Amino acid sequence: MLEKVREKLMSIRFLRRILNWGRAWSLWSVHLETGCCGPEDMARACARYDTERFGTLPFPTLRECDLIFVTGFVTKKMAKRLKLVHEQMPSPKYIIALGNCAISGGLWWDSYNVVQGIDEVLPVDVYVPGCPPRPEAWIQAIRMLQEKIKKEGLDKK
Amino acid sequence: MKLSMGPQHPITGHFRFILDVDGDLVIKLDPDVGYTHRGIEKLAEKRTYPQNLPVIERTNSYCDSVGTMLGYLEAVEEVLGLEVPERGKYLRVIAAELNRIASHLYFLSLGAVATGFETMLMWTINDRELVLDLMERLSGQRITYTYPIMGGVRFDMPDGFKEEALKRLDYLGKRIEDYYTMAAKNHTFKMRMMKVGILKPSDAIRLGIVGPNLRASGVKADVRKDEPYEVYDRFDFMIPTGKNGDSYDRVGMRLKEIEQSISIVRQAVKDIPKGAFKKWAPYIVPKGEAYTRVESARGEFGYYLVGDGGIKPYRLKLSPPSFRNLIALPHLCRNVPLGDVPIIFITLDLIPMDVDR
């Protein structure tokens, strides 16, 4: 019953737009570092690049987060934990893959312990190339994801 | 009770700790490493000597990439019997010391996170950006530079770099005083840091601790002074040492080291000689072996290189500082409150990628 009401409400374009707007501007990112882009994560969150302007706040608890930054390469051991973190997060959840290593293995293309592209494990929304990507590129990725979220559920009819 | 801490945790980074706790008291700590193991030593055998540069750099690409690469280059150049031009050596020293400043500022920001000191986090990261800007002028990248190459450095010092560097270093020097006032003399910060994780000098030597952590315990050991590489013997700087070896000393050690690094860069920028900054280096390295050590931001970094007369190394063994310092963590985290574990971990300045390679 509740599901039906919810679906009915969400089919109203105006309400859907408000919901999408809210989701797009409060993307809290979970604190999980997988590779070498970690310091840039700090740089983009702090004084100069300050992504909190766009509603992206690094947050310790994954239960209240909607965004994972896959920062760099993902080893086989870390991939299991990454999947676990992704499963534990509440829906809707989004993933931004940062760095060549997360996209296709990058520098570690022949390493025996690195996952060759994170899309083998998880669905990725935005890819950002670079080694490591500059904080400006992170901000662009966040903006692209926001544009994507704003269009969600509005393409029908 | 067993408790698992990490890898999804604001403090631990890529580590996981398995803690044996009794109430709030940590009885035993087991570090679970291997989350960032890429097999760098094996990959180095598959690639040629110049191709190895970015691979080695990413052992510790967090902040101290130049310091990490210098040792490898020293080893290759020792086997080759190659002498780097004077200007190249000076530029290497400038890059390495700027990198050390950036790395220590990053350490201070992590220390701020561990103590819940948000203002200091913003200050340190913002000041780190100033140093990264300088490095960007020099090499064209923010954190992974691949700036030193075989036989010198990649680019010459750009125009106006000297004035800009001196200006920014003056500003940083003033900021260090601010840090002393804000953090080191702050009552809350002192209470969180003092007498937490005391590492005695005898224990530090027995466990083989290196770098600022060893110096914080009062042992005077620095490769830059003991066995000068590049042109470190020409600069006038001192090795600061701590007294008690607690977390507070380890933080103060980094602040003092930033001051020394600023003085080294100032001297190097002022008396840098003119001339060539790089030299042609052959791709084929003759048969031979070399062991070199350098002082990276986290301590002594050892390299053992065996060449077999081809274009690829036969064996490259890395002995990173974080791997040596990791043993101090279970040693110090015995019978301490759970709240002290992040402080001890952060002040030891361990980098998981360094540990796993």
- List of chain A residues whose C-beta atoms are within 8 Å of the C-beta of residue B54: 107
Please state whether A29 falls in left (phi above 0), alpha (psi between -120 and 50) or beta.
Answer: beta
A155: in domain: no
pLDDT of B348 > 60? The answer is yes
Long-range CB pairs of B17-25, under 8 A, 24+ apart, other chains included: B17/B341, B17/B345, B19/B333, B19/B338, B19/B341, B21/B338, B24/B337, B24/B338, B24/B339, B25/B335, B25/B336, B25/B337, B25/B338
Q: Which two tokens stand for residue B292?
A: 């070199």
pLDDT of A148 > 70? The answer is yes
A153: in domain: no
Asked whether the beta carbons of residue B58 and residue A107 sit closer than 8 angstroms, the reply is yes
On whether any CB of chain A is under 8 Å from the CB of B231, the answer is: no
Q: Which two tokens stand for residue A115?
A: 């996952």
Summarize pLDDT for A77-128 with one digit per residue, the tens.
888 888 888 888 888 889 998 888 888 888 888 888 888 888 888 889 899 8
Segment (H or E) for A67:
strand A67-71
pLDDT for position B279:
86
Q: Which two tokens stand for residue B83?
A: 């002498």
Is the domain covering B36-322 a CATH 3.30.70.3450 domain?
no
Asked whether the beta carbons of residue B353 and residue A36 sit closer than 8 angstroms, the reply is yes
| A-B Cβ pairs (cutoff 8 Å, strict) | 91
Of B13, B37, B126, the CB nearest to A38: B13
- List of chain B residues whose C-beta atoms are within 8 Å of the C-beta of residue A51: none
pLDDT of A3 > 60? The answer is yes
A157: in domain: no
Question: What is the DSSP pairing of strand A67-71 with strand A94-98?
Answer: parallel
Summarize pLDDT for B226-270 with one digit per residue, the tens.
888 888 888 888 888 888 888 888 888 888 899 999 999 989 888
Total structural domains within chain A: 1
Torsion of CA B49, B55, B60, B66, to 10 degrees: 40
- Domain with residue A8: its CATH number is 3.40.50.12280
Strand, coil or helix: what is B40?
helix
- The alpha carbon of residue B34 is apart from the nearest alpha carbon of chain A, in Å, by 7
- The alpha carbon of residue A28 is apart from the nearest alpha carbon of chain B, in Å, by 14
A156: in domain: no
pLDDT of B132 > 60? The answer is yes
For residue B89, which of B73, B100, B68, B65 has the smallest C-alpha distance?
B73
What residue numbers bound the domain in which A79 lies? 2-148
pLDDT for position B291:
92
pLDDT of B60 > 60? The answer is yes
A127: in domain: yes
CA distance B228 to B2: 46
The residue type of B274 is: K
Using CA atoms, how far residue B40 sits from A72, B285, B313, B353, in Å, is: 16, 20, 12, 10
Of A47, A81, A113, the CB nearest to B8: A81
pLDDT for position B138:
87
Summarize pLDDT for A27-36 with one digit per residue, the tens.
888 888 887 8
Q: Averaged over A11-17, what is the pLDDT? A: 81
Q: How far is CA B343 from the centre of its chain?
A: 18
A122: in domain: yes
Segment (H or E) for B345:
helix B340-347
Residue located via tokens 């790395």: B103
For residue B10, which of A156, A65, A5 has the smallest C-alpha distance?
A65
For residue B341, which of B104, B5, B1, B33 has the smallest C-alpha distance?
B5
Summarize pLDDT for B149-201 with one digit per residue, the tens.
888 888 888 888 888 889 999 999 888 888 888 877 888 888 888 888 888 89
Establish whether the linkage from the previous residue to A132 is cis, with ω within 30° of 0.
yes
pLDDT for position B277:
86
Please state whether B25 falls in left (phi above 0), alpha (psi between -120 and 50) or beta.
Answer: beta
A6: in domain: yes
- The alpha carbon of residue B123 is apart from the nearest alpha carbon of chain A, in Å, by 8
CA distance B324 to B215: 14
Predicted confidence band at B304 (pLDDT cuts at 50, 70, 90)? very high
A13: in domain: yes
CA distance B159 to B188: 45
pLDDT for position A156:
57
CA distance B135 to B98: 7
pLDDT for position B69:
86
CA distance A93 to A87: 10
Cα nearest neighbour of A38 on chain B: B62
CA distance A126 to A115: 18
pLDDT of B101 > 80? The answer is yes
pLDDT for position B61:
66
Establish whether the linkage from the previous residue to B7 is cis, with ω within 30° of 0.
yes
